[in-house]
Amino acid sequence: MSRSGNSDPRRKISRETVAKYRKVDPVVFEPISQDFSPRSRTALDTDLSPYSGEWSETQAAHLIKRTLFGVRKSELDYFSGLTMNQAVDEIVVPSVFPGPPINNYEIPDSGIFDPDVTSGNTWVEAPYNGEIEGPRIQSLKGWMVDNILKQETTIQQKMTLFWHNLLVTQFFEVFVAKASYKYYKMLYDNAFGNFKELIKKLTLDPAMLFFLNGTFNNKEAPDENYARELQELFCIGKGPNAGFTEGDVQEAAKVLTGWVISAENFESHGELNSVFYDPWHDTSNKQFSSFYGNRVITGRGGSAGMEETDELLDMIFENNETALYLSRRLYNFFVYHKIDEATEANVIAPMAEIFRANDYEILPVLRALFKSEHFYDAANIGAVIKNPADHLLGLWRTLEIDTSDLDIHDSLLKNVSLIWSMTELGMEFGDPPSVAGWQAYYQEPTYDKFWINTDTVTKRAVRQDSLIFPTWGHWVHQDLQINADLLAFIETLNNPGNPNDLIDECSLLFHGIQLSEEVKTGFKSILLSGQSDDFYWTDAWALYQLNKSNEENRGIVENRLVQFFQPFLQLGEFQLM
């Protein structure tokens, strides 16, 4: 057992190394500087009691958009056909683990060669290799994208992203791919388990021990970094009643001394682990403030020092703020950015109650939230600005873009192009801008409006347009541009031959709030090429259906769909969910 000092990978990497893999500068968001005053004033009077109202496609689409990424027509049909309770019970469950990321980075002519992992096999336990860590991290991030594109109809992927945003490590900062994989797998496996268990695992997670310096925290030179974020960002938060002190941070840091990354398996095959190195542990008694009831954690020597960590977590989780904090973060991520007094009283407090009553089990709270009348309150429908993943990956899913025929290399390149596309929009998977996560989820008063600025709104439009225009395509490389098959897509609708139904069905899938009749009429005029009779579209569609290989019939329909979908997706309503 020893500290991994000699193997600290951060000594081997430089900003240039990371720059080699990071193709896009992360977006720096500014808080809203313009005068923008909300007009919605009335507080919502709905609470966490079970929803018993209408269960139509509107509510089903709302549930799907908030828990999956985008909504596919088949999913909407399926879940709107169940009851609300059935739908939530089917969605709020874990998914089957998709299998680990693989060596898909030995792209011909790239010069990349992994001496330890053959192409197509997984690298997640391979020895650290500074030359290959970059490609492995790309593979990991691409895998995260792929998991979302191929997601089962459960909240698993979104929950994992929720935790990644709340319990942040940065892959490029850690720069040990197998550590970051282990971190992400840990989030995945514990996404629906017990919050306290999750925090315990996070505390000992090798990537986190790198990222927030835990592995450098020892009795001679305590490092408060993790001890601070554990309270300020992960558990207690900064709410009005979060009264932990600087002293609490220092004492918690002492409790955590001794946890280090094991050098074993770092440069050899195997999973990376952390160990408790008791000579580094501070054995003094730790005195906490009145916020924690003046608790003293008795210092212990030898391996018994580990027990202090459990005691620390017990203390934190006994505090009411922890349940409130997690409830607020869940609400902010899944429901709406702003929590007013009524919501705090009617929704947050009851969620926290459920957390405590169930010893911080996560599932009961999620079920209660997604079955609550507050969640289906009409005012909450469409009130979230899509994050880049909801926007881009959601669009790919909704448009049923099929890339299953790509080989592993093209598939990686496709995923990497999506990663950089989302990075340009402000969300770099694996590398949130700071330990606090993406600003959209914590920075008052801007919140999710952060996602939209003059640069990103244009880039969102370009990403959309590139899928829509047949001559354009989402750029992967010289020989691979990916388009939506609009004809195949609208075939999945109930009644694509009726322009009114087509617009209504699409609006439900793409838009957060419904369009006015005037706007719908405008869009119908595109499908009708300015004619006033619906049958012009109906006939054109029928003709195409009769003989799909007829290029003229196909062109007639396709030209109008391109002209239709481009502005349809450029409506502000498309940016909402």
Partner 1 sequence: MKRRTFLRHTAHAMAVPGVLGSMGFSFPKGNSMATLLRRAAESDKVLVMIFLEGGNDGLNTVIPLNHLSELNNVRPHVFLEEDELLSLQQSEVAFHPALSDLRDLFDEGKLQVVQNVGYPEQNYSHFRSTDIWMSASDSHQVISSGWAGRHLEEEFPGFPDAYPNDDMKDPLSVEIGFGTSLLFQGVAASMSMTLNSVNSFYQLVDNEEQPAPSTQAGDQLRYIRLIAKQSQLFGERVVEVAQKVNNHVNYPSNNYLADQLRVVSKLIAGGSGTPLYMVRLGGFDTHDSQVEANNHARGEHADLLTLLNDAIHAFMRDMEFHGIEDKVLGMTFSEFGRRIISNASLGTDHGAAAPMFFFGNAVKGGVVGKNPVIDNHMTYDDNLDWEYDFRQLYGSVLEQWFGLNDTERSNALFKNFETVEIIGESSILPLGREVSARNLFVYPNPLNGLATIRFKSQNSTVSIELIDLNGRKIQDIYKGTPLAETNTISWNTEQLRRGRYFVILRSEAKNEVFGVVK
Which residues lie near partner 1 (CB under 8 A)?
32, 34, 36, 38-41, 336, 338, 378-385, 448-449, 452-455, 457-458, 465, 469-472, 512-513, 516, 522-523, 525-526, 529-533, 536, 540, 551-552, 554-556, 558-560, 562-564, 566-567, 570, 572-573, 575-576
Q: How far apart are the first and last CA of the chain?
A: 51
- Is residue 277 within 8 A of residue 257, CB to CB? The reply is no
Among 24, 23, 32, residue whose Cα is nearest residue 385 = 32
Q: Which is nearer to partner 1, 13 or 519 (CB)?
A: 519
CB 54 → partner 1: shortest distance, Å?
Answer: 18
CB 27 → partner 1: shortest distance, Å?
Answer: 14
Distance CA 274, CA 203 (A): 10
Q: Which is nearer to partner 1, 420 or 469 (CB)?
A: 469
- The DSSP bridge partners found for residue 474 are 482
Q: Which is nearer to partner 1, 482 or 526 (CB)?
A: 526
CB 486 → partner 1: shortest distance, Å?
Answer: 12
CB 29 → partner 1: shortest distance, Å?
Answer: 12
CB 522 → partner 1: shortest distance, Å?
Answer: 4
Q: Which is nearer to partner 1, 160 or 346 (CB)?
A: 346
User: What are the CA-CA distances from residue 436 to residues 404, 452, 458 (Å)?
Assistant: 35, 19, 27
Q: Which is nearer to partner 1, 54 or 552 (CB)?
A: 552
**What letter represents residue 366's amino acid?**
L
Distance CA 11, CA 176 (A): 12
Distance CA 437, CA 162 (A): 10
Distance CA 262, CA 509 (A): 49
Distance CA 335, CA 339 (A): 10
DSSP 454-466: HHHHHHHHHHHHH
Q: Which is nearer to partner 1, 34 or 404 (CB)?
A: 34
* CA 371 from centre of chain: 21
CB 453 → partner 1: shortest distance, Å?
Answer: 6
- Is residue 367 within 8 A of residue 88, CB to CB? The reply is yes
Angle at 400 between CA 396 and CA 405, to 5 degrees: 95
Q: Which is nearer to partner 1, 32 or 342 (CB)?
A: 32
Query: Is residue 432 helix, strand or coil?
Result: coil
Q: Which is nearer to partner 1, 159 or 540 (CB)?
A: 540
CB 428 → partner 1: shortest distance, Å?
Answer: 21
Among 222, 121, 131, 137, residue whose Cα is nearest residue 181 = 137
CB 530 → partner 1: shortest distance, Å?
Answer: 4
- Give the Cβ contact number of residue 425 at 10 Å: 24
Among 209, 242, 243, 201, residue whose Cα is nearest residue 226 = 209
CB 75 → partner 1: shortest distance, Å?
Answer: 22
At 9, list the tokens.
């990978």
Q: Which is nearer to partner 1, 434 or 559 (CB)?
A: 559
- Give the Cβ contact number of residue 308 at 10 Å: 24
